[in-house]
Amino acid sequence: NAGVTQTPKFQVLKTGQSMTLQCAQDMNHEYMSWYRQDPGMGLRLIHYSVGAGITDQGEVPNGYNVSRSTTEDFPLRLLSAAPSQTSVYFCASKSDPLDYGYTFGSGTRLTVV
């Protein structure tokens, strides 16, 4: 039981490049989210999904796309990387009922130059 797995752990992109951050969970959780963590800002929600085929925007969705074709996978796509997207990205999942806490992945540290 691996929990939430994020790849890659580190990535450097040039401005304008695109890439996909991978997230997979093996706990059959319906609810999955992407957060970014910036110094002094805590975690901010980018996108989330309440089940396969269903996604919605969070607080800071601009510049990111998501899809949820399976329960297990929730990839985050950066369409055209910008230096402002330099951050640490966390994927998290949880099961219903709604009161459960999240299980987090170990994060992807992204630098855009």
| Contact with other proteins (CB under 8 A) among 8, 26, 53, 59 | 59
Phi, psi dihedrals of residue 84, rounded to the nearest 5°: -65, -15
**Cβ nearer to other proteins, comparing 17 with 27:** 27
**Cβ nearer to other proteins, comparing 48 with 85:** 48
User: What's the number of CA atoms in the CB half-sphere (13 Å) around residue 60?
Assistant: 16
Q: Is 97 helix (H, G, I), strand (E, B) or coil?
A: coil
Interaction of residue 40 with other proteins, rule CB under 8 A: yes
Other C-beta atoms within 10 Å of 24: how many?
A: 19
Interaction of residue 61 with other proteins, rule CB under 8 A: no
Please, what is the minimum distance in Å from the beta carbon of residue 74 to other proteins? 15
